[in-house]
Structure 1
Amino acid sequence: MATSTAIRQKLARLRGGGKVRVLDLFSGCGGLSLGFHAVGCEIVAAVEHDPDAAKSHGLNFHAGSPVHMEPRDISSTPPANLTKALGLGHHSLAFDVVIGGPPCQAFARVGRSKLREVADHPEAFRHDPRARLYIEYLDYVEECAPLAVLMENVPDVLNHGGHNIAEEISEVLESRGYRCGYTLLNAARYGVPQMRERMFLIAYRKELQQTVEFPKPTHWVDLPAGYEGSRAVALKLLSRDLFSESGHYVPAPDAGRNLKPAVTAKQAIGDLPTIYARKLLADGLLTRGARRFNVPIAFNRPRSISRYAEEMRSWPGFPAKAALYDHVIRYLPRDYELFSRLRPGDQYPQAYQCALKMFEEKLAQLRKKKAAPESGTAAWNRLRDSIVPPYDPDKFPNKWRKMEEDWPARTLMAHLGKDSYSHIHYDSDQARTISVREAARLQSFPDGFVFSGTMNPAFRQIGNAVPPLLAKRLAEMLVSRMRAGVAAKEATNELAEAVG
């Protein structure tokens, strides 16, 4: 079907009051989907190769439909096959919006002139497996002819191997009939209790006659030096004016200090049930092994609850249940006592020095009993290893961090399940790293959202996701602009008919 015909039919359907239909590529468990769902869109389909993430998406948005929980590799799932499997009709008519965040590693050494070839000569890139996923994403946009596109990626995509990939992608989309713009947004400035910086690219079909803008911040936070430094590196190519021909970069909306302060870690997770790791360990209730989501923890309402926590408990379509099943933590017996001694904001060098002090204290106790091992012996080494972490503090300064209760959390990473020391709970009495549900809260997933799999896969899904609350702000802007474009197009057609 011709693109122009598909676009006309989609515009007509939306003029008739139809819901905006969304396809989520590289969907993960559905952070972006959740934002669009929250503003009334229909999440029609998703493509995700990770089995646990695909199952989570199907559980939450398609009531556990087996066909929607099936993992799919975009490289072997062309649009026609996807819509046929899901019974959605012709792929060019099935979706109004395509969203997602394809990996960016493919283009470390690919120049803009080469990327332009994708539009007309995609086979030129297929010899490079690193480029394949971005090619498939662009192919989906071309074949599905959405009215709008939303793409998310890391800030480095603006300066990846000396290339501004976001600008290059914008040029390709523009050549295919879209108006594009991209920027950097920090989630903490949109009500998410996490300082997460990401690139977002929006594109509208030219028929909608809309310019790209991004939602205004709702909260203020002074970003730490590391975040400002990363942003400066990402924007370095822009400062060189390498892409002045088109200039699709849109400066981020101003986040004035007159806005309300960012949501803090305590406001985000302070109402969740306490988990006293040292007590559980002493009672034999915390042991090594996979953390499955099969033990309920009563989910009571404390006397006071933050507005943010209330929002997470009462998100439309995903309300909190009577019990939590994913409020589980890692088994780290060596470190619970050390966690309790760290101060808010302490990182690995401080933790290492604290552990050395604990080791000396233990040796002093044993010397009083005349039971201290000789320095350098196997027994001495075993005792030290039971207290002191093995990492070089000069090589891993940021490996650990104890959260501050009155500040948003630092960026959640996908490897949180295997290395959750980056988010040590601010409560020294609980003395532990954050739970799966706490990570979900910090990422703004509502309490009724279900994660498939065990602890580590759930942490990975959360760390890979776009914060749903930021996704919601973006969806509000994008859908509003789409509707305005449809209305304007209708008015123009009516005027043309009247004049004719």
Structure 2
Amino acid sequence: MEELNYIDLFAGAGGLSEGFIRAGFNPVAHVEMNKDACDTIKTRTAYHWLKENGQSEIYYDYLKSETKNKEELWKKVPENLINSVINKEISEKSLPEIFEVIDRELGDKEVDVIIGGPPCQAYSVAGRARDPHGMKKDQRNFLYKYYVEFLKRYQPKMFVFENVPGILTAKNGVHLENIFKAVRKAGYELSLPTNKQQFLNAKNFGVLQDRKRVIIIGWKQELNLTYPDFEENEPQYEVLKDLFSDLKKLQNGEGTLNAVDYAKPTTDYLEQAKIRNGLDIVTQHIARPNNENDLEIYRIAVDEWNKGQRLNYATLPSRLIKHNNTKSFTNRFQVVNGQGVSHTVVAHIAMDGHYYIHPDKKQNRSITVREAARIQSFPDDYFFEGSRTAAFKQIGNAVPPLMAEKIAEKIKEMI
């Protein structure tokens, strides 16, 4: 079968793309406005090229190095591959330049699939609650128009458009209706997930996270396809026992962005989910420092969680309450479910770790960068460029690669 090519728009750190690469697709270009996320994709692009060309050791040496020079790593792979990661905000002004780079990369090849989802804050329920205008004036509501421009220009057979469930209700469904109209006008048919809720959940794809996402799939009208069937498998594994157990135990403020050894052997889940994939080291297992006030709240939160209930911020001893608002966001301190799947990892994890407290009270901290990446099903050899905060943000915004891979496999079958 000939190689299937795709373009990734609003690519983030490349979680969706990683799934498509695993399923045998070839990336023509990634477009992303955040520089740290682009650097992460460039580093991952280097990993894939070096692996394919029998030079994985160069990449592993990079992971093991304490003075990482990403530019030197990128020089080890063909320049056009690094240049195909386009660090630009998609706008009317930037479209001609983006098209020019993609056209050069594409040559006489065809684009089979376009993937990606515009930034979701404009469609998210939380975003609408925080914004005085309910996000009605947010320009990100209209980024789908640029997505449609890529469909018109490159005429892929299919596309995958990922977003938050809030897109179903944003502006009483008007935004979604406008997306459907614009896409149909461009010559494509499209469908929401056909289950009752109209979204997919990462936990049904082997990811140890309750993460609901709207995955719109579209195809050229003449192809006469239908939305694929995805099995809804309940997870059989647990975060503490199967996902975190081989990582070194840390206290708050401990750990390193650099490579360290695993503390224990791998688990069935880590092998099955391709998280531990042959390396003898792990990077970015680093925890945030916390003040004593927060640490005391963390201990109380874990005790409450172990009794089967979430901590209500308003019920804390008054000496621990530092926020005036005790009416809303009373769940601002949350423990990750160690005996099941985690709640959704979101980009707010870059601001503080209070919403992601480690379930082991003895460690008394929030989760590390690597633990967050594992909850999202990123493999341990995936390196997030930028600061610890930048890494958390990239992870929180990503599509879990394990979920992406299973979607990509269905797309491949359909094509």
Tell me which interval the TM-score lies in, with the shorter structure as reference length. Answer: 0.7 to 0.9
Residue 39 (structure 2) pairs with residue 78 (structure 1) = no
Determine the C-alpha separation between the residues in 1 that align with 2:327 and 2:139.
36
Alignment correspondent of 1:37: 21
Equivalent residues in 2 for 1:249-268, closer than 5 Å: 261=236, 263-268=238-243
- What does 1:364-383 correspond to in 2, within 5 Å? none
The alignment status of 1:428 with 2:361, answered yes or no, reads yes
The aligned amino acid for 1:425 is H
1:196 alignment partner AA: R
Contact kept? 1:292, 1:454, Cα under 8 Å: no
Question: How many residue pairs get matched?
Answer: 360
Q: State which of 33, 54, 57 in structure 2 corresponds to 1:49.
A: 33
SS of the equivalent of 2:151 reads helix
User: 1:420 is paired with a residue of what secondary structure?
Assistant: coil
- Superposed CA deviations along residues 271-296 of structure 1, whole A, max 9, x for unmatched, are 2221133xxx6xxxx5xxxx972x33
The 3-state SS of whatever aligns with 1:162 is helix
TM-score relative to the length of structure 1: 0.66
- Determine if contact 1:148/1:204 at 8 Å carries over to the other structure: yes
Within-5 A mapping of 1:26-425: 26-63=10-47, 64=74, 66-75=82-91, 76-78=93-95, 81-84=98-101, 87-89=104-106, 93-103=109-119, 129-183=139-193, 184-217=199-232, 219-220=233-234, 261=236, 263-277=238-252, 286=254, 293=257, 295-302=258-265, 305-312=266-273, 319=277, 321-334=279-292, 335-341=294-300, 342-343=302-303, 344=305, 346-349=309-312, 353=315, 355=317, 384=319, 388-390=321-323, 392-425=325-358
Question: Could you tell me whether the CA contact under 8 Å between 1:185 and 1:197 is conserved in 2?
Answer: yes
8 Å contact kept, 2:30–2:85: no
Per-residue CA deviations over 1:314-364 (Å, capped at 9, x if unaligned) read 57xxx3533222111111122224423432265442x664555xxxxxxxx
Contact 1:414 1:462 in 2 (8 A): yes
CA RMSD of aligned residues (A): 2.8
Greater percentage in helix: 1
Decide whether the 8 Å contact of 1:157 with 1:164 is kept in 2: no
SS at match of 1:163: helix
SS in 2 for 1:449: coil
Determine the structure 2 residue equivalent to 1:447: 380
Q: Counterpart in 2 of 1:477?
A: 410
Between the two proteins, what is the percent identity of the paired residues?
30
Instruction: Identify if the C-alpha distance between structure 1 residues 135 and 78 changes in structure 2 by more than 3 Å, giving closer, same or farther.
Output: same
Q: Once the 2 structures are TM-superposed, how far is the Cα of residue 456 of structure 1 from its aligned partner? A: 0.6
Residue 28 of structure 2 aligns to a residue whose secondary structure is strand
Change (3 A) 1:169 1:62: farther
Q: Could you tell me which amino acid in structure 1 is paired with residue 261 of structure 2? A: A
Classify the secondary structure of the residue corresponding to 2:152: helix
Paired residue for 2:371, among 434, 438, 443?
438
Aligned CA distance change for structure 1 residues 314 and 430 (closer, same or farther; 3 Å): closer
| Counterpart contact for 1:31–1:466, Cα < 8 Å | yes
Distance change >3 Å, CA 80–CA 207, structure 1 → 2: farther
Distance 1:105 1:309 in 2: 31
Superposed CA offset, 1:216-259 (max 9, x none) = 22x22xxxxxxxxxxxxxxxxxxxxxxxxxxxxxxxxxxxxxxx
